Amino acid sequence: MTDRIFDAGGQLITDTAVHTGRWRKLVALNDVVLANGTVADDITGSFPGAQLKATAELIGTFTSIQLTSGTAVAYI
């Protein structure tokens, strides 16, 4: 079964810059450490230092994502 809601595309994040936008899902392509991320609507707050193993997914409404290490895709 395909996640049709995510067919609109996404943003590949491979650096440590702050990325702003509005995404609904974050998928780790390899092991990821988050420097910071902001979640809006569902949960308000941030999660610095959170670690995601490869293929792990976070679902929510993200407005800011910054990685310390790793590669992820943020889906619209």
Cross-strand bridge partners of residue 67: 34
Tokens at residue 50, please? 């959170």
Residues whose CB is less than 8 angstroms from the CB of residue 43 and which lie 6 or more positions away in sequence, other chains included:
60
pTM comes to 0.80
Neighbouring C-alpha atoms within 13 Å toward the C-beta of 73: 12
pLDDT tens per residue, range 16-47: 999 999 999 999 999 999 988 777 765 666 67
Decide: helix, strand or coil at residue 15.
coil
Average pLDDT of the segment spanning 48-60: 90
Q: How many residues does the chain have?
A: 76
- The domains of the chain are located at 4-75
Q: Kindly report the backbone phi and psi dihedral angles of residue 6, in degrees, each rounded to the nearest multiple of 5, phi listed first.
A: -95, 5
